[in-house]
Amino acid sequence: MIESNVDGQAHWKSALMDNYGTPQLTLVRGEGALVWDADGKSYVDLVGGIATNALGQAHPAVVKAVSEQIAKFGHVSNLYVNPVAVELAEALVDVASLAGNAKVLFVNSGAEANEAALKISRLTGRTKIIAFDGAFHGRTMGALTLTGQPGKRDPFKPLVPGVTHLPFGDVDALKAAVDTETAAVIIEPILGEGGVIPAPDGFLQAARDITKDNGALLILDEVQTGIGRLGTWFAFQQAGIVPDVFTLAKGLGGGLPLGATIGVGAAADLMKPGHHGTTFGGNPVCCAAGLAVIKTIIKDDLLDHVSALGKDIAARAEQLPFVAGVRGAGLLIGIGLRKPVSATVAQAMQEAGYLVNPIQPDTIRLAPPLTLSAEQADGFLDALETTTKDL
């Protein structure tokens, strides 16, 4: 029984591998955007399980859906039709405005979704892949190869051959690199782990044109940007394009492990029986949670809420003297600092009762629940102003 934050750290060190280091806090419960640690202190959580807890903690709709489903059955495998997975797949292609022109493969995580997308690209008969510096697509071997962060890749070389990384947002470099041997171009619409850096205006449209002209697939990694995070269901809707493949996870399961690879048009039919599989992908309990997320976003008009609140947070944060600029969209926000002290700021904010993510030395990332209230956002901004004044 863990009885305090210090006790939690001791148990973590003795039982878990050291790949994450040892966290400071032991979180024991949550409600909405609030979480409590083992010492009884509450925090407004602006990390959101890293853009995962779309509806916050213990949302009644998710609790009800998961409880009802686990009482029916928890797992049946993909040897049988799972009605919950079918309903969720239909809901996803519907909110993407792609009904009748897209198909879904359910997996368990963003990395697995990108692995499946990579395999789809191989089924074109081509092997050349274009990815981008600073991007993060996961830590499994294929997804890691796509990831444009050498510090994460280098310890595990050799990786999958055939991947070239280009400067993010460079249209001329992309035009020069893509040819009739290119299988796919994979892009994060906003570099999440890279520091919340949006693709430059027009870049996604140019990528769509360049890939189409060369018969290559355009794959969008919407693991962080999808499911309402930006104030629209998907980033590609804001860009006014349709990719050949897009990948989802994080917010899709509302806190449960669920990912999806969605193929559009001809790309939806490249996978054939035996090409890919996953024991737990499309698990009915996780899919029930995903359905609850989508239905709640629609019922509570959360897309409009996310769009308006994100703009309010960005506008006010930009006025703070220690802030160098604000990037992102909706409730995926990067607050740039004038000095590389994000870890110091995050610690001070934690002491003030707010959890934020120091994603880069000079950047704090916010990815709170889509249900974050205006009052909670105001409290965060007041605390950020006080904290940065002290610096």
Distance of CA 352 to the CA centre of its chain: 26
**Spatial separation of the C-alpha atoms in residues 371 and 70, rounded to whole Å:** 25
**Helical ranges in the chain per DSSP H:** 5-15, 48-51, 60-72, 83-95, 110-122, 141-146, 150-153, 171-177, 203-213, 235-239, 284-299, 302-317, 342-351, 374-390
Q: Around Cβ 43, how many Cβ atoms within 10 Å?
A: 22
| CA–CA distances in Å: residue 240 to residues 41, 97, 156, 264, 299 | 44, 12, 37, 15, 25
Domains of the chain: 5-58+301-388 (3.90.1150.10), 73-300 (3.40.640.10)
Say what the pLDDT of residue 282 is: 95
**Spatial separation of the C-alpha atoms in residues 185 and 133, rounded to whole Å:** 13
Query: Which residue ranges make up the annotated binding site?
Result: 110-111, 136, 139, 221-224, 278-279
Neighbour-count burial of 1, counting CB atoms closer than 10 A to its CB (0-12 exposed, 13-18 middle, 19+ buried): exposed
**Spatial separation of the C-alpha atoms in residues 144 and 302, rounded to whole Å:** 33
Say what the pLDDT of residue 57 is: 98
CA angle at residue 24 from 22 to 28, to 5 degrees? 105
Neighbour-count burial of 353, counting CB atoms closer than 10 A to its CB (0-12 exposed, 13-18 middle, 19+ buried): middle
Say what the pLDDT of residue 390 is: 76
Q: Encode the chain (391 residues) as per-residue pLDDT tens digits.
A: 888 999 999 989 999 999 999 999 999 999 999 999 999 999 999 999 999 999 999 999 999 999 999 999 999 999 999 999 999 999 999 999 999 999 999 999 999 999 999 999 999 999 999 999 999 999 999 999 999 999 999 999 999 999 999 999 999 999 999 999 999 999 999 999 999 999 999 999 999 999 999 999 999 999 999 999 999 999 999 999 999 999 999 999 999 999 999 999 999 999 999 999 999 999 999 999 999 999 999 999 999 999 999 999 999 999 999 999 999 999 999 999 999 999 999 999 999 999 999 999 999 999 999 999 999 999 999 999 999 987 7
140-143: list long-range contacts, CB under 8 Å, 24+ apart.
140/111, 140/112, 140/115, 142/114, 142/115, 142/118, 143/110, 143/111, 143/112, 143/114, 143/115, 143/118
3-class SS of residue 152: helix
Question: pTM for the complete prediction?
Answer: 0.97
**Spatial separation of the C-alpha atoms in residues 53 and 202, rounded to whole Å:** 30
Neighbour-count burial of 78, counting CB atoms closer than 10 A to its CB (0-12 exposed, 13-18 middle, 19+ buried): middle
Q: Around Cβ 205, how many Cβ atoms within 10 Å?
A: 14
Say what the pLDDT of residue 2 is: 86
**Spatial separation of the C-alpha atoms in residues 351 and 340, rounded to whole Å:** 19
- Residue 47 DSSP one-character state: S
Tally of CA atoms within 13 A in the half-sphere of 179 that contains its CB: 5
3-class SS of residue 27: strand
Comparing CA positions, the residue from 245, 286, 283 lying closest to residue 264 is: 245
Say what the pLDDT of residue 347 is: 96
**Spatial separation of the C-alpha atoms in residues 116 and 122, rounded to whole Å:** 10
Query: Which residue ranges make up the annotated binding site for N(2)-acetyl-L-ornithine?
Result: 139, 278
Query: Which residue ranges make up the annotated binding site for pyridoxal 5'-phosphate?
Result: 110-111, 136, 221-224, 279
Structure tokens at 303: 């897309």
Say what the pLDDT of residue 123 is: 97
The CA radius of gyration of the chain, in Å to the nearest whole number, is 21
Cβ contact 217:245 at 8 Å: yes
Structure tokens at 11: 């148990």
3-class SS of residue 389: helix
**Spatial separation of the C-alpha atoms in residues 50 and 338, rounded to whole Å:** 24
Say what the pLDDT of residue 343 is: 97
| Sheet architecture: strand order including 357-360 | 323-329, 332-337, 363-366, 357-360
Say what the pLDDT of residue 6 is: 92
